[in-house]
Amino acid sequence: MTVRTVINAAGRRVPVQINGQPVVAFKGVGKYRPSGRKYSPQIPSCSDFPTDGNKVVRSLEEALRKCGLRNGMTISTHHHLRDGDLISNRIFEIASSMGVKDLVWFPSASFPCNDPVIRYLEDGTINRIEGSMNGPLGRFVSEGRMKGTAVLRSHGGRVQAIQDGEVRIDIAVLVAPTADPFGNAKGTGGHSSCGVIGYGKADSMYATKVIVVTDNLVDFPCYPMEIEGNYVDCVVVTDKIGIPEKIVSGTTEITRSPDRILIAELTASFLEKSGILKDGVTMQAGAGGTSLAIAVFVHEILKSKGWKSKFGFGGSTKYMVKMLEEGQMGYILDAQAFDLDAVKSVENNPNHIPYPVFNAYNYHSKGNLTSMMDIMILGATEVDVNFNGNVVTHSDGYLLHGIGGWQNCLHARNVILPLPLFRDRIPVIVDEVTTLCGPGELIDVVITERGIAINPLRKDLIKKMKGSGLPLRSISELRDEAERICGKPQKPQFDDKIVAAIKWVDGTVIDVVRKLKTSQ
């Protein structure tokens, strides 16, 4: 069956239906007005729950049976245990052994440790994944082998979809490093501590059934509770929810690559000379090696000027923690802790505050955190001459990354993408992005080792940076240089079949990924 397609406001051809459900095509940034009311799950009653507050059941299988696991259900998980997650795969192993079919897996992100679910995609237990797809999973989807169509959303788009009822979670399985028998849960404590578990908050509030899985059961009350027991149906206690050394990297380290350090230096210098970096600045940078190097340089500048950042938004790392502890940052608001120093800081420092992604990123909300940020440092696999960005596919057409918070963060005042001009002969600045994830009007500056391109829409920045001594170039000059060095790349060849839809932060479809022709 072929589905009708339309051209959306970004000029991309997208379907009007995905997985049998009608969808809205992207209308432009801030243009789509949602109508109606938020989704609400069924009303529960205390009479169905033990009066002593003890909701512990014997096993995950029992919990899933109790929650009525059956064909076609949507199962959600969060990704706070990252590559050390031992529970997500287990859910589908159980479902498969029960003979359940056509589930939708709705994770907040997937990791290499989730590659075994390919088996359950193949045996029909899972119909599709709506979430990020990395490595072999991305390959599986790009080659058109998944039964349903993948839907990729940003972290904020995911909670928007939950809130608006676009995705109705039947069972949320939320792992928790610490929980009590009533279902109150938090991200710290025990031997699988991941710092925070805020990505599971919306799931707990909107899912029909909620299962908390922990390996560290404590007496009531588990405090401070990130997941509140009032939303929880059952609690499962297991030996081990995760592999600690894969949950957090013991330590995150700044890049050693001299080229990346050069990009970081240029970025710090740009922030300083443009006046974007100032006393009271608010900022967010990721955990990639280049971002960390930028954080270190920014810290030095703040210190030398006697400035202080009002707050930073995590994912937090030891470099951010250092700013907090040395007095160059007022607060860390945190949706996830990337290393052990960050986990320790959330546990001990009252100014390191867990801040759920639901509050930070949801676009269908009465304002959110991202538009309040002065500096946003982001990555991309490709940026094109119109400043459009791609974060989900590589230039060869394979789906290899999730969107993460990237689209949400584009709403910050100054969105800066420090990127290498090319990676192993693959140009990063290109004519047109393979997959559109973020419209160019929201991307302000691209900083490469061979020059800095400011979006022509940012006349203020262009004016400020004149005579700065930094290597300013137009984005097409950067594209030309990449092509001069690497050669002009061929385009990957796609079939018509749509394998994944890319949602914008408001739930509209900004682009799709098509099946790769693998005959080549």
Residues making contact with other proteins (CB under 8 A): 258-259, 261-262, 395-397, 423-426, 449-450, 485-487, 489-490, 492, 520
**In this complex, which beta carbon is closest to other proteins, that of residue 21 or of residue 520?**
520
Structure-token pair, residue 117: 């679910």
**In this complex, which beta carbon is closest to other proteins, that of residue 336 or of residue 448?**
448
**In this complex, which beta carbon is closest to other proteins, that of residue 60 or of residue 516?**
516
**In this complex, which beta carbon is closest to other proteins, that of residue 327 or of residue 487?**
487
Least distance between other proteins and beta carbon 267 (Å):
15
Spatial distance between the Cα atoms of 86 and 90, rounded to a whole number of angstroms = 7
Within 13 A of 240's CA, how many CA atoms are on the CB side?
9
Contact in structure between 491 and 141 (CB atoms under 8 Å) = no
Q: Which helix (H) or strand (E) holds 209?
A: strand 209-214
CA distances for 261 relative to 255, 258, 345, 482, angstroms: 7, 5, 27, 19
**In this complex, which beta carbon is closest to other proteins, that of residue 35 or of residue 490?**
490
CA distances for 207 relative to 43, 112, 407, 483, angstroms: 11, 26, 24, 49
Contact in structure between 446 and 387 (CB atoms under 8 Å) = yes
Least distance between other proteins and beta carbon 397 (Å):
7
Alpha helices in 258-339 (DSSP H): 258-273, 289-305, 318-326
Least distance between other proteins and beta carbon 260 (Å):
10
**In this complex, which beta carbon is closest to other proteins, that of residue 259 or of residue 477?**
259
In DSSP terms, 22 is beta-bridged to 17
Phi/psi class of residue 112: alpha, beta or left (left: φ > 0; alpha: ψ in -120 to 50)? alpha
- What one-character DSSP code corresponds to residue 24? P
Least distance between other proteins and beta carbon 419 (Å):
14
What is the longest distance spanned by two Cα atoms in the chain? 72
Structure-token pair, residue 374: 């002065």
CA distances for 281 relative to 271, 300, 376, 505, angstroms: 11, 14, 11, 25
Least distance between other proteins and beta carbon 520 (Å):
7
Least distance between other proteins and beta carbon 261 (Å):
7
Least distance between other proteins and beta carbon 140 (Å):
17
Least distance between other proteins and beta carbon 424 (Å):
3
**In this complex, which beta carbon is closest to other proteins, that of residue 6 or of residue 485?**
485
**In this complex, which beta carbon is closest to other proteins, that of residue 9 or of residue 426?**
426
